[in-house]
Chains A and B, each alone.
Chain A
């Protein structure tokens, strides 16, 4: 029992937490702080559990981008996909693209996935809920780290020089992770209540890949060119590649601007996550 004379007072009412924004943000920060250790434990648990019962182990992390890449490499060889002249070997282009893209997709799926995996815990144990999202991010980063090994292997095989500007790619990767998480967190309330979201997400991300410069460079004109130009993910993917391989940073200003907007939206997503969880929890007892 805590011996301090001043005991922490916790109050629960029907009122919306947004009616007291100061209190809400203080609680958000203190819960975030309390979440870090737990998030690491949960990440350890989920990673260990995921790979302990497999024969191929961590190889499963690189298999999806590898298969996607090989498919497109074959299509490219067969001249089904026309990429025009490129200053990068196509396999390096496509593997880098899919690995960067997969970071976004994994981050997008992580919040909903981790909330669903921990349904029983959420409905029965009181703990800082931020830990779940944090653990989702850590798991995504773990998977990404393994995929980077694949990327560097391919880079070495094709003897492609990596530019000093590659460090700027970190910013862009952070952006892909952040935007994915942001969208994923916004989807949690509705996605936990309605299974439709999970089904739809798979199809949507599959389609979205073709409207992003993942497996081919953006075409110069036409319908696809317009969509890719307006796709907020385009600057991130472009910056990643140019920083890694071209030594240019043309897309840096756009990337920074979008990240600024995303940071504000991420805060809003965080609030929506906190506010909606108690309402979701009472509906997911089953």
Chain B
């Protein structure tokens, strides 16, 4: 039996809302730690709250886990605990093997020093020996694609260039477990794709990963398992596709500010489906959205958009441009949109639905990147679109 690479058991972490009090608690905690008295705590002092409560999961070697949840759910705090930067208030975290992190890339860079000098320091901070660093330096610089600026002080770098350099150093380490916090969307599109390739390569070599991302397609694509957290607690844990679907549906249910409009449900209008949703290439499909309205919306404009994994707009359709002029009535309104043929290439896509009233820009509900699906079996070469061409030849 293989031992888990990470085992998190009943981990809780409390924070204090008030700064002055937090500092004072800090002093007390240090004193009690120095006196050798600290142990698991399950009670809150005034002004404290649970940032994490009773988090438990295990990850097998080679597996990847996605952490999903709204801002403030505790995802980053959990990563910090696993990274050993802060101590749990209760519970136990065990890590078997080496740990690396792609978090806050470019931290510790000094603006006055050149890219090359900063790379050497960053490598050293992450635990590379000077010899390893000399061996890897060329590779790092090549990967970052900023060779011509490498001897320029980094204060003249764009933020994208800094992140490129930071990623290039951090990914060299090949740890047993990699912690990744929202960095897959770094830099420009080309580089983001390169980063993702590098991460896929790392995973194919047997590396484990914990990924925090708000982009569900990244979680689906890179992770086997997912953990959904809200307010420091686990909502659900399971296969990444099942968790992403459940999470997406919960975010899709988000309604308008005044509570008068709600997307109650949305799904692929293909009858019974298995998750993950797979759409055959070139086959066209339908999508159904249920709007729950409390009042009449006379002139709704509905947006249906599809993004690819890199965030590119594949389609962005307005209902009025498709000459569809419905009105929404109080109660349930099931709107269906279908595409007889959608020539998407193989890959993972996500759907965004927006409801405007009267004119574009007057949003009632935005449901962004909330449903994912995968296109398979599209019969084509390369490119964003997969469509059959009709060829002919004429001879004089």
Contacts and interface: CB of A to CB of B under 8 A. Distances in A.
Interface of A: 1-2, 7-19, 34, 37-38, 41-42, 44-46, 48-49, 52-53, 118, 120-127, 189-190, 193-194, 271-272, 275-276, 278-283
B85 A126 contact: yes
Given A13-B88, A14-B38, A45-B121, A7 B97 contact: yes
Contacts of B29: 279
Nearest to B8: A12
Contacts of A9: 94-96
B264 to A, nearest CB: 38
Contacts of A194: 23
A279 B107 contact: no
A48 B33 contact: no
A124 B15 contact: no
A48 B113 CA distance: 8
B101 A16 contact: no
Contacts of B99: 10, 126
Contacts of B37: 16
Given A125-B108, A279-B30, 13 more contacts: A9-B96, A11-B92, A13-B93, A14-B38, A14-B39, A14-B87, A37-B130, A38-B124, A125-B125, A125-B126, A127-B125, A194-B23, A279-B29
Given A10-B99, A14-B40, A15-B39, A45 B117 contact: yes
B104 interface: yes
Interface string B26-52: 110110111111111100000000000
Q: Which residue, A120, A127, A194, A283, has most C-beta atoms of chain B within 10 A?
A: A283
User: Which among A1, A11, A189 has the highest number of chain B CB atoms within 10 Å?
Assistant: A1
B392 interface: no
Nearest to A274: B33
A253 B182 CA distance: 59
Contacts of B83: 126
B238 interface: no
Nearest to B128: A37
B92 A12 contact: yes
Contacts, number: 164
Contact of B93 (A7, A11, A190, A280): A11
Contacts of B129: 37
A38 B126 CA distance: 9
29 contacts: A1-B206, A2-B98, A2-B176, A9-B94, A10-B84, A10-B94, A11-B95, A12-B87, A14-B38, A16-B36, A18-B35, A18-B36, A19-B36, A34-B127, A37-B129, A41-B120, A44-B121, A45-B121, A48-B112, A53-B112, A120-B107, A120-B108, A124-B104, A125-B103, A125-B125, A127-B126, A193-B23, A193-B27, A275-B34
A1 B90 contact: no
Contacts of A13: 40, 87-88, 91-93
B232 to A, nearest CB: 14
Closest 10 CB pairs of A and B: A18-B36, A16-B38, A7-B97, A41-B124, A124-B104, A121-B108, A282-B86, A276-B30, A12-B93, A278-B87
B108 A280 contact: no
A26 to B, nearest CB: 16
* Residue among B87, B96, B98 with the highest chain A CB neighbour number at 10 A: B87
Contacts of A16: 32-39
B89 interface: yes
Given A1-B205, A193-B27, A8 B98 contact: yes
Given A1-B206, A11-B94, A118 B108 contact: yes
B117 A48 contact: yes
A83 to B, nearest CB: 43
Contact of B86 (A48, A53, A193, A281): A281
B27 A190 contact: yes
Interface in B328-371: none
Contacts of B187: none
B148 to A, nearest CB: 21
Contacts of A118: 108
Nearest to A9: B96
B121 A42 contact: yes
B176 to A, nearest CB: 5
B283 interface: no
Contacts of B205: 1
B299 interface: no
Given A45-B113, A125-B126, A8 B23 contact: no
B34 A272 contact: yes
A278 B86 contact: yes
Contact of B89 (A14, A19, A123): A14
A8 B113 contact: no
Contact of B176 (A1, A49, A123): A1
Nearest to A2: B98
Interface string B59-84: 00000000000000000000011111
Contacts of B88: 12-14
Nearest to A190: B27
Which of A11, A52, A279 counts the most chain B CB atoms within 10 A? A279
A271 B29 CA distance: 14
A275 B29 CA distance: 10
A271 B30 CA distance: 11
A137 B159 CA distance: 33
A46 B86 CA distance: 26
A19 B35 CA distance: 9
Nearest to B123: A41
A77 to B, nearest CB: 41
A56 to B, nearest CB: 16
